[in-house]
Structure 1
Amino acid sequence: MTASAPPPVRIGVVGAGFMGRQHIDFVRASAGAALAAIADPAVTLADAECPTYPSTARMLDAEQLDAVIIANPNALHVETAVECLEAGLAVLLEKPVAVSYAQSRRLVDAVERLNGRLLVGHHRRHHPAVARARAAIGGGELGQIVAVSALWSARKEPEYFTDTPWHSEPGAGVTLINAVHDLDLLRHLCGEVAEVQAMQSSHARGLEVEDTISLSLRFESGVLGSLLASDAGVSPWGWDQATEETPAFPFLPDEVAYRVVGTRAALSIPNLARYGYDPSVPADWHSPLSRTYLPVAPRGSFPAQLDHFLDVARGTTAPLVSADDASRTLALVEAAALAARTGRTVDVRRFRTGARADDDESPDHPAAAGPDDGA
């Protein structure tokens, strides 16, 4: 007898902005999920074609849900996630997990205290090209990894900031909204970052939040890396342009977001072009390079993430991106901001394990070391 399919997971969505609408569409398209309700004061029943509520609390009181997808403003992420976890629901929480590292640790503690099921929406980890690249790196297909670079740049329209005021307020900015994805993926591919140096600028828009950042990274493995990100500069380079993840962004085939350099070969991501030497010739710069493409079955990150979340909600698998894992990415983001403010190298492990939120604004923060401080 063939086992019957489990009943659809009843999902409520909190926040129906840009990301929330994407999640709503993917839930509606999934055979394993059912869109049960939306909590957003700006959405009406006529717009949503499902029950709508002005607040998360009203939705939780009125609906019998199995899970919640949280895509409201960043500053509300932790509060909303804890509210849903305390209601016994599985949670898919959009990135960033919080607006500060200290706040994210409160969520980590809540997940542990409540034995909660929480997946953080660093969706790129679910892309098949990322899984294949991580296997190639871990399996030695590129030799010893020595360097990695990442680039994301796109010019956001003025309405992105005027129509959604929190986009130009602390807790937003290109680092927390966009580059957090790249930093998470660099950690996923190359391991923890030991040290970070940074510069940031807001001169292109003149907003309170930065529009451009440049980071230098030293990983605990010894790999060196860089990340350049801007939401004010036109370019074809970045994850959004190099994949067909979101129809709102133009797709440019064979563009790349990441480049990984090893002693035997190099790999660009997400197109998975591998540049290497024939095994019969010396691995040096005088030998001709060949380009091949690592095979992978295509699939979008968001449908794969949703399927994974359904398994998390059913309790059959652990989350690929836990609250603690995402908290480490946020610690790196915050350490980079400290490095940019102070002009000093920041020891990320010291920052992660010893920093206090009220120390972050001080140039004498214990994780920020000058050239004579032994960093």
Structure 2
Amino acid sequence: MQKLRIAVAGAGLIGREHCTLITSHPGAVIAGIADPAPEAQALAESLGVPHFGDLETMLDAVRPDGAIVALPTGLHKSAALSCIGRGIPSLVEKPVAATLADAFEMARASEASGIPILVGHHRRHSADIREARRVVQSGKLGRIVTVNGMAWVDKPDRYFDVAWRREPGGGTLLINLIHDVDCLRFILGEIRRVGAFVSNDVRGLDVEDTASVSFEFDSGVLGSFTISDAVASPYSWERTSGQALYFPHQPENYLFIGGRDGALEVPTMEYWHHGPEGGDWQADLTRETLPLDGTQTYDNQLAHFLQVIAGNEPPVIDAADAARTLAVILAVKRAAAEARTVDIAEMLEGLQDSGAP
């Protein structure tokens, strides 16, 4: 079976990881690396693949089967459109784009051309998140009533030596909460409106370090989520799942889903219920641990991307879907700034009228 040739644009932290994943996959090879940094040229040389200073030159020179875009967010739209114009499916890292208008332009171009864009919300490929979605959709928990989660991590001061991380757009909402919001949408459906408080009191930077968010879903589910990059704790998907790059595994939970017939803890998949006899708040509960399939998130994402390239599967999350995750995050930022609840529909006004998918 011929290996699919994948070009990689951007050789930063996540771009390098994509390269590692591709080189270890039996069905793919790196066709080229595009990044003007000297470190990128050194990486390409070490892997024995061509190096280019920009994406377009690389695409024209190597004509890959697919491309991974791990460039700064502001370059995502132009990179995706360059791929579409050449008939090349792409995996674009999150956030899908710098603005909702850009995201929906990408979505329309993909839909019109038939050239897919897969967005790198990698947790949708994680065994625990997929199982949580399956459990909810199966009705095992009964009618879902509420959800609560947290992402508490302690980023070191050196993390903020990179300028964009301490400037507007670089806070924990767009960098981190966007993953959790995408998981909530994937598991529980669309979010209707949000309210939020944010703070930058710990570091005093121009970006938030802590936030508390409330959600109302279209289904009527109410939820809350707290996030901070200034707390020493094991309570985040990165640590609890054992699936994330660069993080030790510390078995715990970070997400709790409550229904009329039971509750689920993620990612340990502890399922609490009264059993066939039923019961109420003064009756004993039964705890079951639901099994996971043992697969790895990033391996699953790459395998899925190869299927998308081959035309065998549609993207698990395309540009239009990812735009709605971005809309929720921007609504959270607006809700905090204006001290009010914000409907997601408000964020999409005009974009929907202009033909957004």
TM-score bin (small chain): over 0.9
Query: Alignment partner of 1:138: what SS?
Result: helix
Higher mean C-alpha deviation, range 321-330 or range 166-175? 166-175
**Residue of structure 2 aligned with 1:271, choices 262, 268, 271:** 268
* Distance in 1 between residues matched to 2:99 and 2:114, nearest whole Å: 23
**Shift, 1:252, TM fit:** 0.1
**Matching residue of 2:355:** none
- Over 3 Å counting, the alpha-carbon distance change for 1:126 and 1:271 in structure 2 is same
**Shift, 1:272, TM fit:** 0.7
Query: Alignment partner of 1:106: what SS?
Result: helix
Alignment-mate amino acid for residue 31 of structure 1:
P
Query: For the Cα contact (< 8 Å) 1:200–1:212, is it kept in 2?
Result: yes
Query: For the Cα contact (< 8 Å) 1:184–1:329, is it kept in 2?
Result: yes
For the pair 1:298 / 2:294, whether they are aligned, the reply is yes
Structure 1 runs (4+) greater than 6 angstroms displaced: none
What's the CA shift string for 1:183-231, capped at 9, x where partnerless?
A: 0110111111111001111222222222222110010101001111112
Q: Alignment length, in residue pairs?
A: 348
Gaps of 5+ in 2: 353-357
**Matching residue of 2:34:** 39
Query: For the Cα contact (< 8 Å) 2:74–2:98, is it kept in 1?
Result: yes
* Distance in 2 between residues matched to 1:232 and 1:41, nearest whole Å: 33
For the pair 1:231 / 2:232, whether they are aligned, the reply is no
**Matching residue of 1:325:** 321
Question: What's the Cα RMSD here?
Answer: 1.6
Query: For the Cα contact (< 8 Å) 1:101–1:334, is it kept in 2?
Result: no
Alignment-mate amino acid for residue 154 of structure 1:
V
- Over 3 Å counting, the alpha-carbon distance change for 1:47 and 1:327 in structure 2 is same
TM-score normalised to structure 2 length: 0.93
For the pair 1:353 / 2:352, whether they are aligned, the reply is no
What's the CA shift string for 1:243-287, capped at 9, x where partnerless?
A: 22234111102x1121100111100111111011122142x1101
- Over 3 Å counting, the alpha-carbon distance change for 1:329 and 1:146 in structure 2 is same
**Matching residue of 2:152:** 153
- Over 3 Å counting, the alpha-carbon distance change for 1:171 and 1:114 in structure 2 is farther
Query: Alignment partner of 2:130: what SS?
Result: helix
Gaps of 5+ in 1: 357-375
Alignment-mate amino acid for residue 273 of structure 1:
E
Alignment-mate amino acid for residue 242 of structure 1:
T
Alignment-mate amino acid for residue 117 of structure 2:
L
**Shift, 1:48, TM fit:** 4.2
* Distance in 2 between residues matched to 1:281 and 1:311, nearest whole Å: 44
**Matching residue of 1:367:** none
* Distance in 2 between residues matched to 1:355 and 1:52, nearest whole Å: 38
TM-score normalised to structure 1 length: 0.89
